Structures are given as C-alpha cells and as structure tokens.
Structure 1
Amino acid sequence: MAGSDTEKQESKISIKKVGVSRVVAPGESLTYQNCKELEDLVKGLVSQNQTRIILDCKNTPFIDSKGLELLLQLHTELKNRGGAIKITGLNAVCRDILLSTRLINVFFVYEDIAEGLRSYP
C-alpha cells in the first residue's frame, strides 16, 4: 500500500481511430475533477491536426458546469481550425443538462457514433 497515493491512475478515456476521425470515449462523468485529462487529450489530437473528433458519452453518467465549459472551449477551438466535436450516446441526464442550458443548440449531438461519422462532409 506504500506509495499508492503517488501512483498515476490509469486513464478512463479511450481513443480509437475511425477513418479520419477520432472517437474519444470518457469512461466516467465529466467533472471538475477529471476535465484536465480530456482537455489535454483533445488538445494533443488537435496539435496533430486531428480536428474530426467524436465524443462518445455512452459511459458518461453526468456532466457538471466545468465539463460543459470544457466542451464549449473544445467546440470553439475545433471550429476555428475547421473541425468539429460531435457528441454521441448521451444518456437522459446529460441530454437534459444540455437541454436546460440550451447548449443542445450549440453542439452537434447525435444518437450514436455511426450517425456522428455520417454527418461529416
């Protein structure tokens, strides 16, 4: 048990390449506690000119205000570079959060990854 506080936690975010797009799938809620990891990961992809990003939220039970702020920031950054972040697989809670904040009208939201991929020109 010694040293367990300093051990690096394994990432709960998976990335897979689908054609020219990257599917980023957080395996937990997007909150102030873990947004930095997603931000660093997406910014790393953007720095490699990967601007077609699908955020698969099927395993994301909740998004807090910091998570929403991060999504807006990433949306703007990708849009400015000619890309887009597309959000798929929202559960009822996360969809309601986007509806109540009216962010559902800002983001590109799709039912599943296939629909998100088809939406790219």
Structure 2
Amino acid sequence: MHVTHDADAGAAPPIAFDDFLRVDIRVGTIVAAEPFPEARKPAFKLTIDFGPTLGTKRSSAQITEYYTCEALIGRQVAAVVNFPPRQIGKFMSQVLTLGFPDADGKVVLVSPDVTVPDGGRLF
C-alpha cells in the first residue's frame, strides 16, 4: 500500500459513492503511545480504542513533529480500520491513522472538534 503525501497533486479521479463506503474510517481514542525507534522515519506506536465493537487496534504513525507520547493519550483520532494489517519492522500496524500535511509536509492529525463516541464511522 503506497500512501502519497503530495499536497500539490491534482484531485484523484472520480469514484462511485459505493467505493467511498468501502473505506471504513472510524474515530478512536489513543490509550497508549510509545516511541518507535526501530522505524526508518520517526514514528510512534499507538494503541487506539475504537469502542466495544472494534476494540483496541495498533498503529504506527509518523507524527513526531507536533506531538509527544504524553500529549497523545486521550486524544481522539480518525483511522482507516479495514486495510489489511501492515508489518513495519517487528510491529504490526492494524489501522491507518489519518492526518494532513502542513506546509512543510509534517503530519497534523485529523480529530473531531467535539468528543464523540469511540467507534463512530465517518460519513
């Protein structure tokens, strides 16, 4: 799976609404965050609680520029929960935590403005 971070790229080609519905984006609360020194690029290992139905999932996230492990605990984030797990070194990343690049390409997390129930699906 290749994820592009090119903010100058044009819009992606049109897709059908059903294609959008196939991407399962959920909100969860970060319950644990730790450094990931083995990663090629600076990253954290996150444990995210997606509520009683999905439970907790792990994610590797390259978000070290704006966030500390301590500040991430309790923060709600959005993540794609239906990609296949991805092996990153010895760590299995189960979800893709979502963010946008700032002007310098550093990742800024996607979060709801108001606390919402964990596990809620983006629509």
TM norm structure 2: 0.23
Q: Which has the higher contact order (CA 8 A, sep 6+)?
A: 2
More strand as a share of residues: 2
More helix as a share of residues: 1
